[in-house]
Structure 1
Amino acid sequence: MAEDLCFLSKIRTHAKARFLSLEAVQRPCSLLDIDPREIPYVHYPKPNTYDRAECACNPVRFFAILSTQRSGSGWFETLLNSHINVSSNGEIFSVKERRANASAIVATLDKIYNMDWLSSASKNECSAAVGFKWMLNQGLMAHHKEIVEYFNQRGVSAIFLFRRNLRRRTISVLANLYDRDAKLLNGTHKSHVHSPHEAKILATYKPTINATLLIHNLKQVEDTTAKALEYFKSTSHVILYYEDIVKNHTKLMEVQNFLRVPQRKLNSRQVKIHKGPLSELVENWDDVHNTLKGTPYESFIHADYQM
């Protein structure tokens, strides 16, 4: 135990020194016109793989979208990436090797925020906000202490994105798992679709939900969400809900303000798969209805929005 603590201390000391060193290198430009409270969140990366050229003194904000699977994070990320100044690089820690330990996570984060992580979403030299999408079960909770320290040291802002109606999320999770094997779209599995025709095909599958475990599973998701918010409460963060963004597009303006990027109309080509009342989306609706009725989750029974 003592050896583990000593090792962790060395990692943190080394990481802290590196963070400070990187910040010193990445601040070659004037900060005179920036609110002093914003300075920790303003960066001037120097990528190793290309030259930022005339954009070298354009400030860059670092962010991470923290979410759970099938909570609308893919759709939300496409909205952000439709902004000419935002680069969100996808679900980077879906690859296990990148989250194997704290050191692997820090090395990956360094590459992303040094703007050396090149993806189809990269705006390269003139990005004003750089980040990625991170699921809670991809090393985020297991290494939360080191990650919170990194976020605070490097000035990374967290964008939490959750769903209010966890029952709809469950339907999406089960349907997506089913399609991985069934491959309803001409033998191809797609987690997200770009046409109403494809959405209609995927929506033909109605999952059967285990009513016995239903309340336990909902409580588990709620507890994990609450734990994540508690872990990251010391970081710069904003909390968003998928349903709020669907109903109120001014929420996207709030996100752009949070990232300090110019206001733009954001668009996504993704098409929603599961629409309408929950009763039409679940095979064993009577079981689900009776299980939720009279519980704190009874509100999940009713359709909360239409698209």
Structure 2
Amino acid sequence: MSEDCCFLNKDALIVKAPKKSPLALRMVVLSVVMICGVYICSICLKQIGTQPNPRLMRAELVDIPCRDPRIPESELPYVHYPEPISYSRDECACTPVRLFVIVSMQRSGSGWFETLLNSHVNVSSHGEVFSNKERRSNMSSITKTLEKLYNLDWNSSASKNECTAAVGLKWMLNQGLVAHHKEIVEYFNRRGVSVIVLFRRNLLRRFVSILANSHDRDAKQLNGTHKAHVHSRNEADVLARFKPLINATDLIPSLSHMDRGSADALDYFKNTHHMLLYYEDLVSNHTKLIDVLEFLKLPPRKLFSRHVKIHTKPLSQQVENWDTIYNTLKGTQYERFLTADYQ
């Protein structure tokens, strides 16, 4: 009996530990993992905030424009690195581009001059872009058109596949240029546009050319088509046969109007980065073309044009009522136009 009592008392003294619940253990482990994860993430975020992001650094380097140390600081406002939307410049991305505009009046040699510029492999001059009335209807339309053109997104026959170094257009004074001259001059100065002003000294020859061109617009003397510019001597001779009959009464007022228009234009653009050219000088002095290339900072090239001059004879042989016109201008401020052609 005593042994049984002892045995019972021994079993009574043994206390077994209760089994732990698997769910509770899992919750503890999950809590520890979450706490460690939060701690590690906070440390990583602090490091990211204090260290430079390689991707951002690469983006900033791409945004830095190409800079040529050989370009003087005074020329930097006229140097541009366009990023066209319609295509990528690729290897030409670091080729600096000059923006220009040819300011002129009809029948002043601007068409011939522009073809000379376009014969340069690195020049794109897109013609009379603002002959379209909608593009010049207001300053907003003008700016939108210029931005597209100067961003190298304007497509025309003058567009080059080579690395463009100068891009521009031909702009006649009566194509919105005078009407919005203040805003346009401000735009030119802000965007760094170089202005080439091209006029004709002999306004009487210009007047004869205007009348002859107007006549051909109606007569269409070349196989039923009107051509403002020709590419053969035969075509030029056909157009030169017409001799206008000039209204002597209106002649001096007309020449005065032309003269005043030229003077006003020079005044409008005197505060821009510009150069003044005369058609007669371009014809008689080919070094003037070198001056133009230097003005646009373009590499020298031999320039050529397929245009053939139409009126080559003395004015006395190209005006129907020459004697009347001669007497009208004799003794006036325009007498010099009677004999001076390319002087």
How much has 1:127 moved relative to structure 2? Answer: 0.7
How much has 1:305 moved relative to structure 2? Answer: 3.7
**Which residue number in structure 2 is paired with residue 171 of structure 1?**
208
**Structure 2 CA distance for aligned equivalents of residues 142 and 93 of structure 1:** 13
1:124-171 CA-to-partner distances (Å, cap 9, x unmatched) read: 461100000000000000000110010000000000000000000001
**Which residue number in structure 2 is paired with residue 7 of structure 1?**
none
- The letter of the residue matching 2:184 is I
How much has 1:255 moved relative to structure 2? Answer: 0.2
**Structure 2 CA distance for aligned equivalents of residues 37 and 125 of structure 1:** 27
**Structure 1 CA distance for aligned equivalents of residues 275 and 316 of structure 2:** 33
**Structure 1 CA distance for aligned equivalents of residues 181 and 190 of structure 2:** 14
**Structure 1 CA distance for aligned equivalents of residues 188 and 342 of structure 2:** 34
SS at 2:248's partner residue? coil
1:158 and 2:201 matched: no
SS at 1:76's partner residue? helix
Count matched residues.
Answer: 282
1:72 corresponds to which of 109, 113, 131? 109
Q: List runs of 5+ in structure 2 lacking aligned partners.
A: 1-61
Q: Once structures 1 and 2 are overlaid, which stretch shifts more, 252-261 or 120-129?
A: 120-129
**Structure 1 CA distance for aligned equivalents of residues 93 and 134 of structure 2:** 32
1:74-132 CA-to-partner distances (Å, cap 9, x unmatched) read: 00000000000111000000000000001000000001100100111111461100000
Is the contact between residue 27 and residue 43 of structure 1 (CA under 8 Å) also seen in structure 2? no
Is the contact between residue 104 and residue 198 of structure 2 (CA under 8 Å) also seen in structure 1? yes
TM-score (norm 1): 0.90
Q: How does 1:272-287 map to 2 (within 5 A)?
A: 272-287=309-324
How much has 1:188 moved relative to structure 2? Answer: 0.7
1:259 and 2:302 matched: no
TM-score (norm 2): 0.80
1:143 corresponds to which of 161, 176, 180? 180
Is the contact between residue 281 and residue 342 of structure 2 (CA under 8 Å) also seen in structure 1? no
How much has 1:33 moved relative to structure 2? Answer: 2.5
1:243 corresponds to which of 253, 259, 280? 280
1:112 and 2:132 matched: no
Q: List runs of 5+ in structure 1 lacking aligned partners.
A: 1-24
Q: Once structures 1 and 2 are overlaid, which stretch shifts more, 224-233 or 153-162?
A: 224-233
1:45 corresponds to which of 64, 82, 96? 82
Is the contact between residue 130 and residue 171 of structure 2 (CA under 8 Å) also seen in structure 1? yes
**Which residue number in structure 1 is paired with residue 166 of structure 2?**
129
2:233 corresponds to which of 183, 192, 196? 196
**Displaced runs of 4+ in structure 1, greater than 4 A?**
none
**Structure 2 CA distance for aligned equivalents of residues 303 and 162 of structure 1:** 15
Is the contact between residue 130 and residue 136 of structure 2 (CA under 8 Å) also seen in structure 1? yes
